[in-house]
Amino acid sequence: MNSIDVDKKPKPRGRPKKDEVYTDKPPKLVQKRLYARKYRERIRDQVKDLENERDFYKKLVEFLQSEQTRYCPSCQQPIWQPESPAVYMYPEAVQTQIRTNTPPAVSCAWQMQQQAMAQSPMWLHQNTDGERQVGEIELHCAGCRKWFHKSCLKDLKAFYGLPFMVCYQFYCKPCSSTKKEVWTAKQANFSHMLVMVLSNLTHDWRKEQSDDADFDKKFFSLEQDIIPFFEREWENLTSMPKRKKDSWHQTIQNALEKHPDLFVQRGKDDLYFKLKENDLRKIGPFLDAVRYINRRPNNTQSNQNDDGNADENEGPKTRGATKRKNAEGGSGSSKKQKQTSDYAHVYLPGRDMIEFPYNRDGYRYFFVEPDHNCPYSEEELSELSQQRQGIASVSYRLYNYPSVTLAPNDRAHQLKLTDDRMTVLGTKNLGYCAVRATHMVSKGRWYFEVSFDKQPPESHIRVGFAQELLPLQACVGYTKLSYGFRSKHGTKFHDSIGTRYFKTDYKEGDVIGCLIDIPEPACVTSEYLPHSKKDMVLILSKNNKFYEQKDDMAGYLKQLAICKGSKIEFFLNGVSCGVAFSDIYGGQYFPAVSIYQEAQVTCNFGPKVKYLPKGARPFCERLNEYAVEQTLSDILGTLEWKEHQIAEKRKAEKEKTGKARGRH
């Protein structure tokens, strides 16, 4: 700021130039006006930079939209571009690609998905003969899910343990952030230790037996086998100090009887036990029964409560009342107690287990990752966080799932998903509950299939498409936001209105195809992009960050509009059942399935679907498009955030100027 010359003669008329002031004004007010002038110039420079940024992103959009779908040369499947700006949104890298027109690195998403699905505990990363060395110390990588022999490790020279360890975290060299092998021991309780003890006892016994021995009938004595093994190998089983008293013997017995999904007891009063899992190659930290030790809710008990033990706040037990209560966003009690069933335990590629909060009670949660292209420095983000009394959500972006699957947390908590998130199973005495997929469509002709795997008596399913605000404690077709096809009587449903659609039921063993056709708009706007969620609240839950969004069902329903020319069609074993719905509401639609009772279905999003209709694309091809759209949405969200910050600064400056004029 320039210094003020108080001896300078004032000009008789006219406004002062940039560096001239009137000396008959109070010096303090003059300084404030000069500061305001400099501040306005700085704001104009920021606006100019923002306009230049818009021009660049306009070129970026044209560049991304000009990209043609590439195919893998070996399997001829659509490819995903993990290093392209469409995924990570690096403007500097994009500028280089725009100038040089260099295509980004590519990899086959379908091959990656199939490889992840095909990985099993029997496959090993490094070995001379390609087989597991059962009975030797092996480590299972939490990132790539591959097994490593102790002799194959390069960076880990000394670590303790036993074969069949289950309480540790290991990352191989490619998966580790330090590019070195990392092994961390976790605290093991008695249930974890019993898995290791019985696995080693079983392996040692099997080595001494012939091939025709009946392994299923071998049980181990608590007093003669299990406790002596604890005595010998305590230091290798746990880091806890060894107990001096024998009271832990009873604790072991209680743990063996507490987990029937892990251990089998020979008789009710017989203290002989064995592992429930007979295949020792599956014993490891990722065995389902081991993962959910001390976490699995007692679903059987909660589902089979009698009238005397029922919660007074639950209301009537009819299925319709339950669905209406959840659809209206009501909750039974004003105080919500956190339970194990509030979280879904999911493993994502390259990450440890993540506990997803379920979408429920009018709130939805979205897993996020750091946005490396955030335009703010760490100091600015820290200041923004202090102003908003929370983490600055603009510094994060929605996680991009590497394949199209059923969503880990966008489902009713009563439904069970397999590890590959393709198969969903209901539970006994369960009313209709829904699950959505991870990816949506808003235009185009898209197709997926559902295989009806199991249909116990009195169980049914509904398949179709749903928007993001469909109540999960209801069925597909329950509101205006979903369209469904029911297995019973072949009925179609929309807005709780059922109409006879197909001449017969579909049942166990059938394959139901679901096709949605939404015309391409004449002008594509941001309404067709997935929301960036950067304006949502960012929360920290179980050491992971999520966007939290509160649903506004009433406001959303007011904005619904018919999309002319759109339609939904279903197929039964490759044969068209006819157009089920035409001129549906416009919006973003997810593949959706709802389960009644103990039915089980498996979804197939491609690329190898059984009956692909002509002109349709399998949902797996949405990966590349969705990554581009999500990136464009992140760009718009970042620019909107910037504009909002500039508008707030202008508003604050006007308020300061107005107060100064009011005083003088």
d(CA 174, CA 34): 57
Flag whether pLDDT at 76 surpasses 60: no
What's this model's pTM, rounded to 2 decimal places?
0.55
Residues 295-313 pLDDT 10s: 544 443 334 444 333 333 3
Which tokens belong to 351?
């990450």
Res 463: pLDDT = 97
Residues 630-651 pLDDT 10s: 888 888 888 887 777 778 778 8
Ordered structural domains, the chain, with CATH = 122-285 (3.90.980.20), 401-542+556-625 (2.60.120.920)
Q: Is 44 helix (H, G, I), strand (E, B) or coil?
A: helix
Which tokens belong to 550?
């509160």
Res 316: pLDDT = 35
Mind giving me the DSSP string for 151-176? Answer: GG-SS-------TT--SEEEE-TTTS
Residues 85-131 pLDDT 10s: 333 333 444 445 444 544 444 344 434 433 443 333 333 333 333 46
- Neighbour tally for 518: CB within 10 Å: 22
d(CA 160, CA 183): 10
Q: Is 291 helix (H, G, I), strand (E, B) or coil?
A: helix
Residues 588-631 pLDDT 10s: 999 999 999 999 999 999 899 999 999 999 999 998 888 888 88
Res 660: pLDDT = 66
Percentage of residues in the chain with pLDDT exceeding 90? 25
Flag whether pLDDT at 504 surpasses 70: yes
Res 60: pLDDT = 58
Mean pLDDT, residues 152-179 taken together:
78
Q: What strand order describes the sheet that includes 590-596?
A: 406-411, 433-437, 590-596, 460-466, 482-486, 491-494, 497-500
> Largest Cα–Cα distance of the chain, in whole Å?
114
Res 331: pLDDT = 40
Helix/strand/coil (H/E/C) assignment for every residue in 354-398 = EEEECCECCEEEEEEEECCCCCCCHHHHHHHHHHHCCCCHHHEEE
Mean of all residue pLDDT scores within the chain: 75
Residues 183-193 pLDDT 10s: 887 778 888 88
289-306 burial, b for 16+ CB within 10 Å, e for fewer?
bbbebeeeeebeeeeeee
Mean pLDDT, residues 48-68 taken together:
60
Q: Is 285 helix (H, G, I), strand (E, B) or coil?
A: coil
Which is more confident, 207 or 405? 405
